[in-house]
Amino acid sequence: MASMERQDGRGVETPSPEPPTLARTAARWGSQHAGARELANLYSPGKRCQEWISVILCFSLMAFNFIHLLANFHLGHVWYILLGIVAGILTADFASGLVHWGADTWGSVDLPVFGKAFIRPFREHHIDPTAITRHDFIETNGDNCMLTLVPLANMAFNFLTLSPAEIYHIYPFYCYLFALGIFVTLTNQIHKWSHTYFGLPRWVVFLQDCHIILPRKHHRIHHVAPHETYFCITTGWLNYPLEKLGFWRNLEDLIQGVTGEKPRADDLKWAQKVK
Ligand SMILES: [Zn+2]
Ligand SMILES: [Zn+2]
């Protein structure tokens, strides 16, 4: 996989399977790709506003719930807490794969509202994988923050209304839910780090090297066209087992058999856009 220098001197990953001769004609990937430019222009002020609100609410609820989890901690729960955290991370990894696979494989940017807001970033990411490294914190994390708002708000409401005995009872499940919420919320940030080759904080590289979060080398496997495997982008723990099971392939065959829709048809259309 090649690495290229950006204008600000920070190197970023580029997808590898492109023959160099194509550069002489129209851009086949990167920020100058015609489809990538069109997709980047669809990022609207309304969308930006939705992301800001989601980030502020989500991080406030997370802090609130974290304080209440600490306040209700009991040593007797330790093993259940650890189990809950691991299960939460695995669920988040699977959910990241399912959402990523769904958006990469089905639907179209032309779908009303949803297409522009939620499928567009996935199309942009395949033809301009470095764009994510230029997105700020709000654009990177806004959508995932929105996803976790309702469960986090529900947990906060329960901390305020349940009795201490009820909270004690439900505590391990809340540890599971909280770990799930944190990892779902941070998935795109972790994904962005997996595309960043210079200037990452040491602790982030350490977490990647230990495979606690998605390692850079591991995620490159997804970025080989036609982008049909290794969809999990939180920790990537489930990518190998799901690939061995042929999980995504079987699911695609099933859906294609029922609906007649061809997997990745829209993704391919954007990749081929040169004007
Ligand atoms: Zn993808
Ligand atoms: Zn990626």
Q: Which domain holds residue 132?
A: 29-189+262-271
Secondary structure (H, E, C), 195-239 = CECCCCCHHHHHHHHCCCCCCHHHHHCCCCCCCCCCCCCCCCCCH
Mean pLDDT along residues 17-25: 41
For the stretch 119-131, pLDDT in tens is 998 998 999 898 8
* In a domain? residue 53: yes
* In a domain? residue 244: no
> How many domains does the structure of the chain reveal?
1
Separation between Cα atoms, residue 57 and residue 45, nearest integer Å: 19
Report the percentage of the chain scoring pLDDT > 70: 84
pLDDT at 36: 67
Query: Are 127 and 33 in contact, with CB atoms under 8 Å apart?
Result: yes
Kindly state the tokens that stand for 274: 């040169």
Mean pLDDT along residues 235-247: 97
pLDDT at 270: 85
**Which ligand ends up closest to the CA of 105?**
1
DSSP assigned state of 116: I
* In a domain? residue 35: yes
* In a domain? residue 202: no
Q: How far is the CA of 123 from the centre of ligand 1 (A)?
A: 8
* In a domain? residue 255: no
* In a domain? residue 144: yes
Q: How far is the CA of 54 from the centre of ligand 2 (A)?
A: 22
Q: Is the pLDDT of residue 112 over 80?
A: yes
Q: How confident is the model at residue 39 (pLDDT cuts 50, 70, 90)?
A: low
Q: How far is the CA of 88 from the centre of ligand 1 (A)?
A: 22
For the stretch 64-83, pLDDT in tens is 999 999 999 988 889 999 99
